[in-house]
Amino acid sequence: MTQFGSTVRGIRERLRRDDRRFSVRQVAQRVGIEPAYLSKIERGEVAPPSEATTVRLAAELGQDPDVLLALAGKVSGDLQEIIRKRPRLFAELIRQLKEAPDDAVLRVVREVRDGDW
């Protein structure tokens, strides 16, 4: 589908240039999966792994978990839970912001962060 695998491979190989601990085998071991499985993931031979595995992989590679999950075609379970608790509210908000430029969304984020509520 998308470039989840190649992205992961790229990141891992870059890290590997100055740290031999970033081989397929060693990363797989630290992440808690089989090396063969990680190899297949990186080559796109299988679908991206589960959310939990993706998050551990992101941590290992120093990546933002939400970004890696997005590449895997997923949305973090905790975000989904927040939405599910107030579906109408969040559905409307998110659809409103669909076409908004990044900086407009960022303004909203900051406003909420500094907000007085």
Partner DNA sequence: CGTCATGTGTCGTATATAGTACACATTTAG
Partner DNA sequence: CTAAATGTGTACTATATACGACACATGACG
Binding site residues, DNA, CB under 7 A = 16, 20, 23-26, 32-40, 42-43, 45-47, 49-53
Q: Are the CB atoms for 76 and 51 separated by under 8 Å? A: yes
**Number of neighbouring beta carbons within 10 Å of residue 54:** 24
Nearer to DNA, 33 or 108 (CB): 33
Told to check if 88 binds its own copies by CB under 8 A, we report yes
| Contact call for residue 89 and its own copies (CB under 8 A) | yes
Residue 47 binds its own copies, judged by CB under 8 A: no
Amino acid at 81: E
CB 35 within 8 A of CB 25: yes
Q: Which two tokens stand for residue 80?
A: 């989904």
Q: Shortest approach of DNA to residue 58 CB, angstroms?
A: 13
**Residue of the chain from 14, 25, 43, 86 that contacts its own copies (CB under 8 A):** 86
Other CB atoms closer than 10 Å to residue 117's CB: what's the count? 3
At 42, list the tokens: 């990186």
Chain residues binding its own copies by CB under 8 A are 64, 66-67, 69-70, 73-76, 78-80, 82-98, 100-102, 104-106, 108-109, 111-113, 115, 117
